[in-house]
Amino acid sequence: MERSELGKTGIKVTPIAMGCWPIAGVTTLNVTKEEALGTLHAAFESGINFFDTAYVYGYEGESEKYISEALGEVRDQIVLATKGGSHWEGKTHQRGGEPERLTRELEESLRRLRTEVVDLYYLHGPDPECPIEKSAEAVAQFVEQGKAKSAGLCNATLEEIKRFHTICPLSAYQARFNMLQREVTEDILPWCIENQVSFMGYWPLMKGLLAGKLPRDHQFDERDSRRKYPIFQGEQWQRNQDLVEELRSIGAETGYTVAQLVIHWTMSQPGMTSVLCGARRPDQIRENAIAAEIKLSADQKKQMETAIEERLKYEH
């Protein structure tokens, strides 16, 4: 896989990263440790060098622990990103951007990952109870101390991004981005391009919707967190399925799966440095990795854009 620079750090990352939330087993049903380790091995063997996790990925830090167990021996060959500022109280998700908490979380993340330094450390999201400048000061200190090689921020407004960046220069910003959710193109993505801040997009397959494997009559398990999103309900669901059918026909013509086409489209968007592909099984991440090698004709690209435009016209 070709690699792109992470911000202005000199660190090179693959255009597809493995998002390590699913292997934590919090919202993904029936994940086993063996399956999680196998998925991490499969990602590395498929050419992916970029692994994205967080302190809060798992009630007991399972995601970070699995990464160190599966990939500890190749630590010098991978780029590790983790995040702080989110934690569990029991099974309730909480924010916490105070410097003291971020420091404790980073130290614990380093122990779990069995490393002295992470390549990229994100504030997982602004804490409404703590000025973002205070959180930025803490992350800047981590970089100065050599515990993180670079700094990132997730899930913030453009104003918050600018305030953070003034205190702690950003190398990366992370937010959701997919065919159906492109809000960042209005202001945040242009700012990232202008300031040489890498953009990392998560949810490229919109939690499996754009993978093309959920039939129109799919019945979600009552424990499945996707049930709460409007995009999986009613008229939106039907129109999204129309888009998937169009992509499926292009896939039949090209020999690629819907997921591969969607990931390829996402990684090809202006300003996109790496696409975070969550996976819980080895076969999923192997399929995703192939997207980096896809070659489409001009007509095929136009077909995809036309299908997306047809879907998005109902949003306005």
Domain range annotation of the chain: 4-210+259-294
pLDDT in tens, the chain (316 residues): 999 999 999 999 999 999 999 999 998 878 999 999 999 999 999 999 999 999 999 999 999 999 999 999 999 999 999 999 999 999 999 999 999 999 999 999 999 999 999 999 999 999 999 999 999 999 999 999 999 999 999 999 999 999 999 999 999 999 999 999 999 999 999 999 999 999 999 999 998 899 998 889 888 888 888 888 888 988 999 999 999 999 999 999 999 999 999 999 999 999 999 999 999 999 999 999 999 999 999 999 999 999 999 998 876 4
Residues in the chain: 316
Say what the pLDDT of residue 230 is.
86
Tokens encoding 150: 């670079």
Residues 123, 138: Cα–Cα separation, whole Å: 10
Q: Give the single-character DSSP code of 197.
A: P
Tokens, residue 103: 């420091």
Please provide residue 134's backbone torsions phi and psi, each rounded to the nearest 5 degrees: -65, -40
- Looking at residue 255, its pLDDT comes to 95
Residue 67: what pLDDT? 98
Residue 316, helix vs strand vs coil? coil
Question: Is beta strand 151-154 parallel, antiparallel or unpaired with respect to 172-176?
Answer: parallel
CATH H-level, domain 4-210+259-294: superfamily: NADP-dependent oxidoreductase domain (3.20.20.100)
Beta bridge partners of 279: none
Instruction: Give the model's pLDDT for residue 195.
Output: 98
**Pair type for strands 86-89 and 16-19:** unpaired
pLDDT at 229: 87
CB–CB of 123/83 below 8 Å? Answer: yes
Half-sphere exposure of 211 (CA within 13 A, CB side): 15
Indicate the SS3 state at residue 141.
helix
DSSP per-residue codes, 73-90 = GGGGGSEEEEEESEEEET
